[in-house]
Copies of this chain bind each other. A is one copy, B any other.
Amino acid sequence: MKISELGEFGLVDIIRTINEKFSNAEQLSWQHLLVGIGDDAAAWQGNNHIQLATTDSLVQDVHFDLGTITWEELGWKALAVNLSDIAAMGGAPRYALVSLSCPGDIEVEGISRFCHSMASLGAEFGVAIVGGNLAAGPSLVITVTVLGCSRDKLLLKRSTATPGEQIAVTGYLGLSSAGLEMLRKGIRLDIETSAILRKAHLQPIPRVREGQILIQRGVNSAIDISDGLIADLDHICEASTINARVEIDRVPIHQVVRTYFPNYLELALFGGEDYELLFTADSNTVDRAREALDCPVTVVGHVVEQGRLPNRVTLVDGKGDVVPHARGGWEHFT
């Protein structure tokens, strides 16, 4: 059946059925839900925590290619990139709304798998899909909005980085853009390697628990790496009116990327979509965070006063020499 024959209310019924599977009564968000998908608006009981809201879109042939991504991966990624934004504030995601604009000839079965995968990822992080919209359109555009809250009345902001702090990242960088390169160029690698790269690009795991641990350990400045390490660090520099010095030899690059991609450094610095957390804190706080986290935490540089470096973000090699970089990370409309 085509989505045009199903209509918006048919889709609401599908999402309702999927939701029932995942509406474990122990999950906070479902417990407080008063009106789910299908009314004019979703409704739930509010609380006195700090509330968070973020929205992000995936556009066909700009952010994904229906020829290489499965419906499951697409549903996962559309939600994951938003969960990552809540993670980068140190918050707990709670509710999601999903808007689809798509051609009427898309198969319902695909959209159903898309919704199931999204609900399944949501359930893993305590997120209920509570609303949405379906509209006809020339190509597929997915916009997800995620609402959450901060348990500790604290936030990880972009604007609070301070000179003297270390700059650190979780996990490894470059895996996602290496995955994209593999898919685009049809690079054939062994099954295990190819699976790691594919998953990094199409099913990133948002660092939700890690963001909350960072806040608990005293970190107050972070961003998620969606545009690329250098571009996202530049956003912190701008918001905090500081400069950043990055030692490129210290950037954590996964062995798979080093082995199969000669441009591994470019992928790690400018590639984007790794959805790791980039944060700044004094060295004691970074050490405490490292001890508390299950994932690698690597110091890649440090914060200096504004105007002290040739660029807002300056790269240096092992000898301390400045490495010029003309281009930023992923830029919209390029």
Return A38 CB to nearest CB of chain B, in Å.
Answer: 7
CA distance A159 to B39 in the complex (A): 8
**Contact between B332 and A136 (Cβ–Cβ < 8 Å)?**
yes
**Contact between B40 and A223 (Cβ–Cβ < 8 Å)?**
yes
State the oligomeric state as a number of copies: 2
CA distance A43 to B134 in the complex (A): 27
Q: Mark contacts of A288-328 with chain B using CB atoms, 8 A cut-off: 1 yes-contact digit, 0 otherwise.
A: 00000000000000000000000000000000000000000
User: Nearest B residue to A227 by beta-carbon distance?
Assistant: B8
CA distance A4 to B333 in the complex (A): 5
User: Which residues does chain B contribute within 8 Å of A9, judged by CB atoms?
Assistant: 235, 238
Q: Mark contacts of A11-55 with chain B using CB atoms, 8 A cut-off: 1 yes-contact digit, 0 otherwise.
A: 000000000000000000000001100111111111111111111
User: Which residues does chain B contribute within 8 Å of A157, judged by CB atoms?
Assistant: 35, 39
Q: Mark contacts of A124-159 with chain B using CB atoms, 8 A cut-off: 1 yes-contact digit, 0 otherwise.
A: 000000111111111101010101111000011111
Among A39, A88, A159, the one with the most B-chain Cβ atoms within 10 Å of its Cβ is: A39
Answer yes or no: A62 CB below 8 A from chain B CBs: yes
A53-B97, A101-B57, A132-B55 as given contacts; A46 in contact with B332, CB under 8 Å: no
Answer yes or no: A163 CB below 8 A from chain B CBs: no
**Contact between A131 and B55 (Cβ–Cβ < 8 Å)?**
yes
**Contact between B40 and A88 (Cβ–Cβ < 8 Å)?**
yes
User: Which residues does chain B contribute within 8 Å of A89, judged by CB atoms?
Assistant: 35, 39-41, 43
CA distance A97 to B44 in the complex (A): 19
**Contact between A59 and B137 (Cβ–Cβ < 8 Å)?**
yes
Q: Mark contacts of A207-251 with chain B using CB atoms, 8 A cut-off: 1 yes-contact digit, 0 otherwise.
A: 000000000000000111000000000010011000000000000
User: Which residues does chain B contribute within 8 Å of A76, judged by CB atoms?
Assistant: none
User: Which residues does chain B contribute within 8 Å of A95, judged by CB atoms?
Assistant: 53
**Contact between A143 and B43 (Cβ–Cβ < 8 Å)?**
no
User: Nearest B residue to A51 by beta-carbon distance?
Assistant: B46
Known: A40-B222, A41-B54, A53-B130. 10 other contacts (CB 8 A): A34-B50, A40-B88, A44-B50, A46-B46, A54-B131, A59-B101, A62-B136, A101-B143, A139-B139, A145-B145
For the complex of A and B, list the 6 residue pairs with the smallest distance between their C-beta atoms, beginning with the closest: A4-B333, A41-B54, A40-B88, A104-B333, A143-B143, A145-B145
14 A-B pairs (CB sep. < 8 Å) = A35-B89, A40-B222, A41-B52, A46-B47, A46-B50, A51-B51, A53-B95, A54-B131, A55-B99, A55-B145, A57-B143, A59-B136, A135-B332, A138-B138
